[in-house]
Amino acid sequence: MTQNRRENSPDTYPNLILASASPRRAAILQEHGFNFTVVFPPEDDPSALPANLQPADFAEALSIQKANAVAQKLNDGLLLSGDTVAALGNEIFGKATDREDAERILRAVTAVTHQVITALTLLDAKTGRTMTRHATTAITMRELTDSEMSDYLSTNAWEGKAGAYGIQDHGDAFVEKIEGSFTNVVGLPIELLKEMLDGWIEESGFDATHKV
């Protein structure tokens, strides 16, 4: 039963291999005391995914794709990968390709409530055991003036960020309400990660007091 689940802390979790090039994900893990190393995955090819995936399924598929790509380079280790998308209904907004694309995305997600979805995958490189989950946060942004839009786009802070904004750098000035995990919007829902690791340990019988 969930109420009997053992509560672990970051220093007793197994060491992680972060399969991500995101400095924000690495920073979140470091800030919360996790032990990890980083292995960059190759560039993803979203066109290789099945068409018409729902936003959460799309994020999960990319997360699994990253984990599998890095697992091919390793003999063992517990991999953690993640992928974040913004969504308005079934429309998915990933990273903007250029300034014009960033403006298109921002105009779509401002003055409305949209969702930020981050999928996380744990993968045992030795056994192939995999666990994938996602977290969703609702973001309500105020309408931006043309001047605010232009000033923000000029900062290039939109680069490399799902939804063309980073809530941790300037984007928070545009947000009226957040419903859900803040770290999910940054790129790694820490609450979800801890739940997944607790479940992983519980299901495998791994003794969290012994590091791997």
DSSP state of 2: G
11, 45, 76, 83: the catalytic one is: 83
Is 88:43 a contact under the CB 8 Å cutoff?
no
DSSP codes joined into one string, 156-191: TTTTT-BTT--TTTTGGGGEEEEES-HHHHHT--HH
What are residue 122's DSSP bridge partners?
Answer: 80, 131
Nearest to 131 by CA among 47, 56, 193: 193
- Both tokens assigned to 30: 């470091």
Active site residue 207: no
User: Active-site residues: which are they?
Assistant: 83
